[in-house]
Amino acid sequence: MSEPTETVKSNLLELLEETFETPRGIYLDRSKGGLFTTLEGISSDTASSESGAQRSIAAHAEHLRVYVAALHGYMNGATGKTDWEASWATHKVSSLEWEMLRAALQRDYLALKADLEQIPNGDLRLAEGMAILAHTAYHFGAIRQLLLGIE
């Protein structure tokens, strides 16, 4: 039987992969794909669409990118403040900007994941890293809901 600290690390990594990469049915429907697959299937026009006070999908994606980068920095000792208001400044994106935003989110996620894989079992940073799951799941759900209203 594995130690609880080993379980925290393996569960965190497994749930991150479920959320961002490839759902295995832990909590997401396998047929709909993870965050990256979902964003990949969205055009820049759809990503830029806004309705009323709702933020665009591009805004959610940029906010997530900033969050992933900020959490990664925090876990590595950064102490600066993150400008959360600025993280929502993206509204409309061109095809190239949308492609670059998706690539930046994936790059920042993979850097965070690589660091998490190297953190020893029992390290407090693993517990701190759990916050990314709740935060990303919320925005991923918001993106899927926005898609229902656009498509």
**H or E, element range at 47:** helix 44-48
CATH of region 4-150: 1.20.120.450
Count of CB atoms situated within 10 Å of the CB of 135: 15
d(CA 29, CA 22): 10
d(CA 93, CA 65): 15
**What is the pLDDT averaged over residues 41-68?**
93
Q: Tell me: the pLDDT tens digits for 92-101?
A: 999 999 999 9
pTM above 0.95, yes or no: no
DSSP 88: G
d(CA 55, CA 48): 9
